[in-house]
Amino acid sequence: MAKRTVIANWKMHGSRAEARALARGVRRLLNNRFAAVEVVLAPPLTSLEVVRQAVEGSRLLLCAQNLHWQPQGAFTGEVGADMLRDAGCSHVIVGHSERRRLFGETNAESGRKVAAALDASLKPVLCIGETLEQRGGGRTWRTLSAQLSGALKSVPKSVSGSLAVAYEPVWAIGTGKNATPTQVMEAHGWIRRALKRRFGPSEAARIPILYGGSVNPANAPDLARVPEVDGTLVGGASLEHRSFAAIVGAFSEREG
C-alpha cells in the first residue's frame, strides 16, 4: 500500500536562520514519533543546505519546490535534478498550481520534469487540480485527466511506485476554503482509478495520493479519515512547527 506522506511546502518564506529554526522545531516535536508517516520538508532553494544539516540523522526528508528538466546547461535561474540530489533532496514538487498559474508551466513541461526527477532517483510529487471556473463548468475530470496523462505518459510501470500525486483544488489553496470530505473522496477515487488504468492495480496502489488546499490542524483529522487520502501537501500551516506536527499526528492516527 501507499506510504502515508505529509509534506511541508514553505514556498517563498523565511531566511536561512528561520528555516533552520523551523526544521529544528519540527524535528524536536516529532522526535521519532509517528513512524508510520513519511515527513518531508520543502524549504526555499536558498535554505536547502541549512535544513539538510538540521534534519541530518533524523527520518525527516528534504524536498525541492521545483526543477528544470535538463540536468545542466545555459538556463539562468534554474536548477537540475542531479543538483538537487547533490543538495540532499529525496523529493521534488512538480506542477504546483502556482507554477502553472503564475509561471505558465504546461502539462508537457510537468511531464519532462517528472521524467528528469525519476532519472535522478528523486521522487516527484505531481500536483494536479482544477480552478473554480473549471469545476463550475463541469470540466473537473477533463482537467485532471489532461494534467495526469500529460505528466505521466512517459513514466514506465517499473518506476511508478517512485512518485506521488497531490490533488490540490486551486480554489482551496491559500483561500481558507477547503473541499468537503465528499469532494475530496470523489476526486481521489477518480485519480486512483486513473492510476490503475495507467499502471495496473498493484502498481497504482503504491502511489500515495495527497490532498493539498488550506490544510490545518483543525481539518486534518477529517481529511485523514477520507478513503484514498494518503497524506497531505501543507502550505501556510507548515510555517509553524506545532501546527505542522499536529497535522502529521492526525495522519499517523489513521492506522489500518
Rounded CA-CA distance 89/12 in Å is 17
What's the whole-model pTM score? 0.96
The average pLDDT across 219-231 equals: 95
pLDDT of 56 higher than 50 = yes
| Active-site residue, 168 included | yes
The average pLDDT across 232-240 equals: 97
Q: Is 122 left (phi over 0), alpha (psi -120 to 50) or beta?
A: beta
Cα Rg, the chain, nearest whole Å: 17
pLDDT value, residue 62: 98
Rounded to a whole number of angstroms, the distance between the first and last alpha carbons of the chain is 11
pLDDT value, residue 31: 86
pLDDT value, residue 254: 60
pLDDT value, residue 104: 96
Predicted confidence (pLDDT) per residue in 58-112, tens digit? 999 999 999 999 999 999 999 999 999 999 999 999 999 999 999 999 999 999 9
pLDDT value, residue 207: 96
What number of CA atoms fall less than 13 Å from residue 134's CA on the CB side? 15
pLDDT of 215 higher than 50 = yes
Q: Among 85, 229, 241, 79, which residue's Cα sits nearest to residue 164?
A: 229
Mean pLDDT computed over every residue of the chain: 94
C-alpha cell at 89: 533532496
Predicted confidence (pLDDT) per residue in 101-158, tens digit? 999 999 999 999 999 999 999 999 999 999 989 998 999 999 999 999 999 988 988 8
Q: Which of 96, 109, 130, 188 is catalytic?
A: 96
Most confident of 120-124, 172-176, 199-203: 120-124
The average pLDDT across 25-36 equals: 93
| DSSP 8-state code for residue 230 | -
Rounded CA-CA distance 182/170 in Å is 17
Point out which residues pair with 231 in neighbouring strands: 5, 210
Could you tell me the pLDDT band of residue 256, with boundaries at 50, 70 and 90?
very low
Question: Cβ(25)–Cβ(241) under 8 Å?
Answer: yes
| Active-site residue, 96 included | yes
pLDDT of 2 higher than 60 = yes
Q: Which of 168, 188, 228, 241 is catalytic?
A: 168
Would you call 62 helix, strand, or coil by DSSP? strand
pLDDT value, residue 159: 85
